[in-house]
Amino acid sequence: MLNKVYNTTAVSDIVSNTIKERQAPAVHTSRCRTLQRGGFAFGEDMGEKRCSKCGDVKPVGEFAKGRAQCKGCRKKHNQEYNKTHSVQTRAQRRRYYYQHQEECQARSLACHHANAEKNNIRRREHYQTHLEQEKLSRRRWCIEKRAEIKAHKREYYLAHIPEHKNLSRQHYLSHVEQYKAWSRQRYAKQLSVDEHFTLAQRDFVRTFWGNRCAICDEPQKVGGRQMPIDHWNPLSDGHPLTMNNAVLLCGSCNAWKKDHYPAAVLDAVTLDEIEVKIQRQAEAWEQCAVGRIA
């Protein structure tokens, strides 16, 4: 064997330098040397990585755990894969859902509750930008599921009859005048009479007559039911409720007049006075309408 000759001074220098390096305090730098392994960057920064797909250096939060590609590149790759393998992915998702149905439903419900506000805003924006499409799709769905919807409503109503009755009663008591107007309109429609008496006209008639009966001049009772607005000439003979045919009557006078013409139940003096007031009422309403338009 050949004897290796070493330079004693060089060996001693190497040993002394090694000892110094070990004894010296560790110096941490913000950036260290980059090692490329299969397109993955190690050590470029303690909180950064280089994407193997796009080559950009991004924060670690942009990468899934154990992935060399960033989330954006992974998303694009998954979208392209789903387009080219749509049938396989749908079958796979359906199979997974049936195998883990309870888990998927619980996860979906938790995600819905956690992002309820965002989902509502997104749905509202989508509905406003696709209004016609949404209406058509809903109408088509209702037509296709008409029997199921009807059966579901019937079952729900039968299971909550007392609640429905209470709600209907409360709504009627808080909208009595509106229900009366609807009833008059239905009756007028049965008689083929075109009647469109608005709530504004109703309030104007009550104000004009001072909440007093046109025949007996009886005032409205405090806390009692409102006086009905009656047809001065009967609706049964084709006279719709207009400002030229609307009067405020108490319950007894309204029941006494019934569907008779005023000339058949009133004297000439009272008849002339009321008809003059009705004419003034129509003129005052026209002036108010002109003022609102102006």
Give the pLDDT confidence of 237-285 residue by residue, as tens digits.
888 888 999 999 988 888 888 888 988 888 889 999 999 999 999 999 9
Mean pLDDT over residues 122-142, rounded?
92
Where in the chain are the domains? 33-114, 116-159, 174-293
How far, in Å, CA of 32 to CA of 38, rounded?
19
pLDDT confidence of residue 13:
60
pTM of full prediction above 0.75:
no
Beta carbons of 104 and 93 less than 8 angstroms apart: no
Per residue in 113-124, pLDDT (tens digit) is: 999 999 999 999
Predicted local confidence at residue 287, as pLDDT: 87
**Which alpha helices (H) appear in the chain, and where do they start and end?**
8-23, 71-84, 86-99, 101-114, 116-129, 131-144, 146-159, 161-174, 176-190, 199-208, 251-257, 262-265, 268-293
pLDDT given for residue 226 in this prediction: 81
Residue 195 has pLDDT above 70, yes or no: yes
Q: Within 13 Å of residue 158, how many CA atoms lie on the same side as its CB? A: 6
Q: Give tens-digit pLDDT for 277-290.
A: 999 999 999 888 76
| pLDDT number for residue 149 | 94
Tell me the mean pLDDT in the region 30-59: 62
In the block, tokens 């109408």 appear at 139
Q: How many CA atoms lie within 13 A of 254 on its CB side?
A: 15
Do you know the residue count of the chain? 294
- pLDDT for the residue numbered 276: 93
Asked whether the predicted pLDDT for residue 15 surpasses 80, the reply is no
